[in-house]
Amino acid sequence: MVNHAPNGYFIPMTALEHDILKQLIELEATVKAMPAANPKPSLLPRFQKIEALADQLPRGTAPDLLHYLQRKSYEKARQWLEGRFAEIQKGGCLR
């Protein structure tokens, strides 16, 4: 999978980034299904998996992606990994 960077260049997605994106998509699906779920699923294992994967990212990983993952801005991290940079809402830190 390949992303477009904000500067227009192509960025190949690493296998680890792909795994993080997969976990973020699964987290979103779980959250969307929660209103109908009984009993409610625990999100903690999903958060732990995302954090464990994020901890494996190497030096040189895009600073914005690291920032979103460290701040638990998972929607922004997903948008970044999907190359949807224009959709990322600026937060209080203006990133």
Answer for the pair 81, 40: CB distance below 8 angstroms, yes or no: no
Between the two ends of the chain, the Cα-to-Cα distance in Å is: 24
Condensed to tens digits (0 to 9), the pLDDT of residues 32-66 reads 999 988 898 999 999 999 999 999 999 989 999 99
With H, G, I as helix, E, B as strand and everything else as coil, classify residue 93.
Answer: coil
**pTM, full prediction:** 0.83
5 pLDDT tier (thresholds 50, 70, 90): low
Q: 10: which 2 tokens?
A: 């192509």
